[in-house]
Amino acid sequence: MTGRRVYVRGVGAFTPLAPTWPATAAQLAAGACAIREITAFDATGFPCRHAAAIDQAFPDEDRRLPYARAAAREAWAHASLAVAPARLGVFVGAESGRGRWETVLGLARAARGAGGSFESPGFAGARSNAQRCGGSFDHARFAREARPFAERIDASVLSPSAVAVALARELGAHGPVETVSLACASGSAAIVEAARAIRLGEIDAALCGGVGADVDPLMLAGFGLLGILSPRGVSCPFDAHRDGFVVGEGAAMLVLEPLERARRRGAPVYACLVGSRMCAVDAPRYDWPSRALEAAPAIASLADGQPIDLVCGAANSTHNLDGCELELFAALPATRGATLTSIKGAVGEFGAAGALTTAAACLALRDQMVPPLCHLETPAETSLHLAARQAEPAELRRALVCGTARGGAVTALLLERA
C-alpha cells in the first residue's frame, strides 16, 4: 500500500547482541555475532547446539514480555510523542508463549508418571505407552503431580495477544491493538499492519514490531525434526556452503507517525516508510521452491519502477529461502543493481527478525552504511552484489526489507532516506 507517507520516529531493541538499540546497532555495524553454544540447558543430542540467546535471566514464566517491554519503552522514549489514547495503536508480531522449559518438562514427566514410562522418546513412544495402558490415563494422578508446574502458567499471559495487550496498557493506548502471528515474518507483518492503519487515517501513531523467545529444547527439537537447523551452528546467509539456520530471540520495536504530523512538530526521524505489501505464495510442505517468484509483482509495484539501492533480505542460511531470494531479486529490474544483505548471520532466525531488519535498514539509510553479512566465506553464485563482512559506506536512497515465513507469507517494506 502506497500513498500517505509514514515516518519511523523511534526504534528500540533488546537482542542477544545488546540490551538497547544503539548498542545493538553498533554491534551489527561491527560485524559481531551473537550465536554461541547453548548454556541455558543441556543441548547434547540436539541437531544444533548453538543459538543467539539472551543470557539475562527473568522471573517471568514467559520471556516474550520482558523482551518486548524493554524494546517498546526504548522506542517510545526515543520518539517522545504526545498522542491521544484513542489515536494510538499497538501492533505486535508474536507467536504463542510457552512456560519455561523446566515447567514444560515437569508437566511432561507428570504425564509420563500418570500413564507409565515411555519406552522411547517422541510420538512413537507416546503411542506405545498408550497402547500398553489400554488407552487409559490417570487424570487424578496427573493433576496431583502436575499442579506445582501448572500453577506457574497463566494462560492469558501465554496467549499470542498477551504482549500487545500488555504494551497497550502500559502506553495507555486505546486505539487498535493487534497481534500478527506469521512465524518469522511476524515482526515485519506487524509493521505492515501499523503503516496501513496510519495511511487509512485510523490512528496518528503506532508502536509496532516483533518479539520471539524460541531458544528452548521444545523449539530446538521441533526445528530439528524439520531438518532446517545448521548442524555446524553457523548462520551464513547467501553463502554457497550454508546448511541451515540458527535459532535466535529478542525484540525490536518501532514508533511510526504520519509525515504531516512529524513535520508539524519538527521532529527528527530515522527514515520514511513510503510503502508496504503483504502477500502469500504457494509454498506447501514448508518448502520454498522457485514459486517465491509469485511475490515479484507485489514487490515490483511497490518499487514503482524506481531503483532500490539496498535489499535487506529474509535470508536465514537455508538453501531454499536464500536461493529463492537470490532468484527473486535478480529477476526484479528495481533490485538488480542493489546491494543484498541479511542480519540473520549475527542474530539468527526468530519472530522479531523482520522488525530488527527494518530497524537496521533505517540505520543504513541514515548513516549511509551497508550492514555486513556475517560469516560470508564463499558467496553464492549470483549476478547480485552481496554485502561484505564489514560495514561499507555507500550512497543509499531507497531500501527494501523483505520478510518471509515458511508456509508462504511474504512482506515487503520500502524505505527512503528522510
Cβ atoms of 256 and 6 within 8 Å: the answer is: yes
Task: Give residue 109's pLDDT.
Answer: 72
Quick one: pLDDT band at residue 132, thresholds 50, 70, 90?
very low
Give the lowest-confidence range in 223-237, 253-267, 312-326, 396-410. Answer: 253-267
Residue matched to cell numbers 513510503: 274
Quick one: pLDDT band at residue 83, thresholds 50, 70, 90?
very high
Q: Tell me the C-alpha distance between 314 and 308, whole Å.
A: 16
Cβ atoms of 249 and 54 within 8 Å: the answer is: yes
| Three-state SS at 311 | strand
List pLDDT tens digits, range 314-337. Answer: 999 999 889 989 999 999 999 999
Cβ atoms of 306 and 416 within 8 Å: the answer is: no
List pLDDT tens digits, range 87-100. Answer: 999 999 998 777 66
pTM, full prediction: 0.88
Strand intervals (E) in 242-306: 249-258, 271-280
Task: Give residue 78's pLDDT.
Answer: 92
Task: Give residue 150's pLDDT.
Answer: 66
- In this predicted structure, the answer to whether residue 339 has a pLDDT above a threshold of 90 is yes
Return the C-alpha cell found at 32: 559481531
Beta bridge partner(s), residue 182: none
Contacts by residues 323-327 (CB-CB < 8 Å, ≥ 24 positions apart): 323/288, 323/380, 324/288, 324/289, 324/290, 324/292, 324/293, 325/292, 325/402, 326/238, 326/380, 326/382, 326/384, 327/290, 327/292, 327/293
- In this predicted structure, the answer to whether residue 148 has a pLDDT above a threshold of 80 is no
Compute the mean pLDDT over every residue in the chain, rounded to the nearest whole number: 86
| CATH superfamily for domain 13-98+157-417 | Thiolase/Chalcone synthase (3.40.47.10)
Report, as an integer, the average pLDDT of 296-307: 87
- In this predicted structure, the answer to whether residue 357 has a pLDDT above a threshold of 90 is yes
Report, as an integer, the average pLDDT of 113-131: 43
Domain positions in the chain: 13-98+157-417, 101-151
Task: Give residue 217's pLDDT.
Answer: 86
- Nearest of 4, 40, 6, 15 to residue 356 by alpha carbon: 15
List pLDDT tens digits, range 29-70. Answer: 999 999 999 998 889 999 999 999 998 888 777 899 999 999
Task: Give residue 291's pLDDT.
Answer: 56
Cβ atoms of 180 and 197 within 8 Å: the answer is: no
Q: DSSP for 369-407?
A: EEPP-TT-SSBPS-SSEEP-SS-EE---SEEEEEEEETT
Higher pLDDT, 69 or 112: 69
Q: Tell me the C-alpha distance between 359 and 367, whole Å.
A: 12
Quick one: pLDDT band at residue 120, thresholds 50, 70, 90?
very low
| Three-state SS at 30 | coil
Cα angle vertex 289, ends 283, 294, to 5°?
70
